[in-house]
Homo-oligomer: A and B are copies of this chain.
């Protein structure tokens, strides 16, 4: 890769041209108090004339602060993670920090490579959505960091910002039961993913609290993808006994896939099948019917993670759980209302 040819001016060029020492230039640039107004003006003028821009590498090397943050998400093209990223970026920008963004593709080995890159880049801190792996030990990550996402809870030694899954599940299941649904089928993520277990536990907890037998709940693996969700729904539809089918998907992508599958089977949502999602991605609002879902505060997760990173918790692994909100849009039938009753 070709680099810019014309040598960039250094602090020495500025110093020489302004007839002062490097130190003085550095002082002016650092907005130090003890510089005469005349000198300051003079230096600033030369800085502008030469288009001087400090070399962040040299600064980082000497000062120990690089002004860079790292962010490792599973997939930046996934709308949920793109929102988290935006949140992190916004806060980083406000503090004059740059963000190195990586996609781990849910692959522990890829994640490991990215973490190594971040360490070598000497980023000031990192926001990471941890991928499951026995090997991974975030206590010796050797970087200030904050974990994000539902899998973060798995690493109690690290600070984290995540969603209050239990609260979200309660919100969703309350909504379902209030509308007369008794045994929602589950479309879950793959067993390899940390988040699956957490959601399942939350659902079981809710069931126990409400005197429901959790084993009565049908569950299918939807792989967190649209296609996987559609296939899972197809399987659920096959086993369906007469009557209304209610499905709770662990993410909106699968819920949307499920919705498609319902339509392709010639059934209607919400008349024949009710679908509840989890995430709150924008695409759910465009579906027809609109996807009723439990919204996670994606952008805020990003901003809060950076806040946490910047606030130096003094090595106390603070854990923040943000609350979910229910977005009702129309994919869940109200079985109590005669209006929405089947046929």
Contact = CB atoms under 8 A, between A and B. Distances in A.
Nearest to A59: B120
Contacts of A310: 1
Contacts of A256: 286
A93 B82 CA distance: 18
Contacts of A124: 1, 3
A288 interface: yes
A77 B85 contact: yes
14 contacts: A1-B125, A54-B120, A57-B121, A68-B121, A77-B83, A86-B103, A89-B103, A90-B103, A93-B114, A98-B121, A99-B102, A100-B101, A283-B283, A287-B288
A70 to B, nearest CB: 9
Given A4-B142, A57-B122, A77-B82, 20 more contacts: A1-B124, A1-B312, A2-B314, A3-B65, A4-B143, A8-B142, A53-B119, A56-B120, A76-B76, A77-B79, A79-B282, A89-B103, A93-B110, A99-B102, A100-B100, A226-B282, A260-B286, A283-B286, A286-B287, A287-B287
A130 B282 CA distance: 26
A288 B122 CA distance: 48
Interface residues of A, number: 70
A117 B99 CA distance: 11
A98 B100 contact: yes
A42 B6 CA distance: 42
A30 interface: no
A283 to B, nearest CB: 4
From DSSP, what is the main secondary structure of chain A's interface residues? Answer: mixed
A61 B58 contact: yes
A276 interface: no
Contacts of A110: 93
A251 interface: no
A75 interface: yes
A182 interface: no
A94 to B, nearest CB: 11
A119 B76 CA distance: 24
Nearest to A260: B286
A287 to B, nearest CB: 4
B100 A68 contact: yes
A76 B58 contact: no
A205 interface: no
A192 interface: no
Which of A64, A77, A89, A96: most chain B Cβ within 10 A?
A77
